[in-house]
A and B are shown apart, each in its own frame.
Chain A
Amino acid sequence: MKTEELLHKSLDISPPWNIVRVREDLGKQQIDVWVARQTGKSWFFGSKSSAIPEDREMAWRHVNLGGCRCVVHAVPNTESPPLPWVGEPGMPFTHGMSRMIAAMMRDGIKLQSICAILDITVADLWKFKHTLDSGKAGLSGGNATTAAIPEASSSSNVPDPDSPIWEKLLDGSANIDIRLLGLKFLLTKLREQMRVITDPEVRVLKAYELQRYFARYEQTLGHELAQLSKL
Chain B
Amino acid sequence: MKANTGLMSISQASALISAGKFLNIAGDEEALKQLPKGNWIGGTIPYFMSAEGGKIARDQVFVNEIVDMASAPTIRQYDVDSLPQLCRNAPDHGYTILVVPAFGPCHSSFAENAPNYEDMYIKPVVGWVAGVHLEDLGKTTPKVANGLTGELSDQHAIAMDVPLPPDQYAQIDIVNLFQPGEGDSITFDSTGFAAGACTIGGKPANLAEFLTTNNIDTRLPLVADYCGAMINVSIKAVDAKAGKVEFYAPVFQGLTYKIAAPVKDYVHEFQAALPKIESGITFSCNCILNFLYSDLEGKRTANVTGPITFGEIGYQLLNQTLVYLTISK
Contacts and interface: CB of A to CB of B under 8 A. Distances in A.
A24 B229 CA distance: 54
Interface string A182-225: 11111111011001000000000000000001001001100000
Question: What band does the interface of chain A fall in when counting residues whose beta carbon is under 8 Å from B?
Answer: 20 to 34
Nearest to A195: B254
Interface stretch (B139-147, B171-179, B205-213, B304-312): B171-179
Contact of A181 (B119, B122, B255, B314): B314
Contacts of B115: 185, 189
Interface string B58-97: 0000000000000000000000000000001000000000
B32 to A, nearest CB: 29
Chain B residues touching A, range? 20 to 34
A172 to B, nearest CB: 9
A220 B122 CA distance: 13
Given A112-B88, A192-B254, A220-B169, A181 B118 contact: no
A185 B118 contact: no
A188 B225 CA distance: 9
B226 A184 contact: yes
A168 interface: no
B228 A182 contact: no
Give chain B's interface secondary structure class.
Answer: mixed
B172 A178 contact: no
B173 A181 contact: yes
Contacts of B118: 110-112
B234 to A, nearest CB: 18
Interface in A82-117: 110-112
B293 interface: no
Interface of B: 88, 115-116, 118-122, 124, 169, 171-174, 226-229, 254-255, 314-316
Given A110-B119, A181-B229, A185-B316, 20 more contacts: A110-B88, A111-B88, A112-B88, A178-B228, A181-B171, A181-B174, A182-B172, A183-B121, A183-B227, A184-B227, A185-B115, A185-B121, A185-B226, A185-B315, A186-B122, A189-B121, A192-B255, A216-B122, A219-B169, A220-B169
